């Protein structure tokens, strides 16, 4: 009789249909909530109702694509011992895992597209104010994706040190959903909260690209945020390498 843990991994993997339906419901709910909350008000914090609603819908879709249930195949490889042979080619493995993650992300892209389609049907989407904004938004999205992938990988490394990674991973999953700004844009957060979040890499994942796209952040400020993304990509890559070295050491030298 297979253990409950194994089962949940198998169950959550790749059920795109359910994922799509869940996302659509989430998008519909977000749109309804934000429209109700605004209910005929003038712009709050300089943000109009349309922008807030569009943000909620787009951010939910982006977050869903960035956050699959399985962050990488690492935990599974570690559990079944395959990692031992994998580590004979350490650099190759890292790239391989990264490529797999990218693949997963791409596979989930249709999910996001369906969510966006639902938002469009509900007339929640808005177009960016101009071509330059769109270009910058695309650049920011790539940046956000990179940051997200790096974060996911780093967090999945925790499996090298403990098999009971379930708790921390779930905390990461939902914590980053909040901190990335996918639930609430940073504009509406109380000052102290906003300030603390701005120091973390998560807001670079969703908040940056979406707020640039909507033109809420523009010009110098927008470019600066993209710059922050670049800084995070570099910093996280270095961090990943450092952790990877230690994990390698642990497995190969200590036989962990």
CB of 179 to other proteins, least distance (A): 9
Report yes or no: 98 and 217 within 8 Å, Cβ to Cβ: no
CB of 22 to other proteins, least distance (A): 6
- Residue among 178 and 219 whose Cβ is closer to other proteins: 178
- Residue among 117 and 189 whose Cβ is closer to other proteins: 189
174: left (phi over 0), alpha (psi -120 to 50) or beta: alpha
CB of 154 to other proteins, least distance (A): 18
Report yes or no: 107 and 168 within 8 Å, Cβ to Cβ: no
CB of 119 to other proteins, least distance (A): 16
Give the pair of three-digit tokens for residue 76. 């599974």
- Residue among 33 and 235 whose Cβ is closer to other proteins: 33
In sequence order, what are the residues at sequence separation of 6 or more whose Cβ sits closer than 8 angstroms to the Cβ of residue 37?
Answer: none
The rounded distance, in Å, linking the Cα atoms of 213 and 99 is 27
The rounded distance, in Å, linking the Cα atoms of 3 and 31 is 39
The structure tokens 């707020």 sit at: 211
Report yes or no: 247 and 83 within 8 Å, Cβ to Cβ: no
The rounded distance, in Å, linking the Cα atoms of 118 and 125 is 10
- Residue among 34 and 244 whose Cβ is closer to other proteins: 34
Footprint on this chain of other proteins (rule: CB under 8 A) = 1-2, 4, 7, 11-12, 15, 17-18, 21-22, 25-26, 29, 32-33, 36-39, 44-45, 164, 166-171, 173-175, 177-178, 183-184, 188-190, 193
CB of 105 to other proteins, least distance (A): 19
- Residue among 143 and 201 whose Cβ is closer to other proteins: 201
């Amino acid at each position: 009789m297979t253990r409950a843990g194994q089962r949940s991994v198998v169950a959550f993997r790749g059920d795109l249909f359910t994922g799509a339906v869940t996302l659509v419901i989430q998008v519909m709910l977000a749109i309804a909530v934000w429209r109700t909350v605004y209910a005929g008000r003038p712009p709050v914090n300089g943000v109009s109702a349309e922008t807030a609603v569009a943000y909620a819908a787009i951010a939910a879709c982006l977050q869903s694509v960035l956050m699959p249930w399985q962050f990488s195949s690492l935990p599974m490889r570690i559990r079944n011992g395959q990692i031992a042979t994998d580590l004979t080619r350490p650099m190759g493995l890292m790239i391989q895992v990264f490529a797999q993650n990218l693949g997963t992300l791409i596979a989930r892209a249709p999910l996001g597209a369906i969510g966006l389609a639902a938002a469009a049907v509900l007339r929640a989407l808005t177009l960016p104010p101009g071509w330059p904004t769109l270009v910058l938004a695309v650049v920011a999205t790539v940046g956000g994706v990179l940051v997200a992938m790096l974060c996911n990988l780093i967090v999945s490394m925790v499996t090298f040190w403990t098999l009971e990674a379930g708790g921390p991973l779930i905390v990461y999953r939902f914590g980053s959903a909040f901190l990335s700004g996918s639930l609430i844009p940073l504009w509406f957060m109380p000052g102290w909260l906003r300030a603390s979040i701005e120091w973390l890499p998560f807001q670079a994942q969703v908040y940056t690209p979406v707020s640039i796209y909507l033109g809420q952040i523009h010009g110098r400020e927008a470019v600066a945020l993209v710059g922050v993304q670049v800084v995070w990509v570099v910093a996280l890559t270095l961090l990943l390498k450092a952790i990877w070295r230690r994990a390698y050491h642990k497995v190969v030298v200590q036989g962990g």
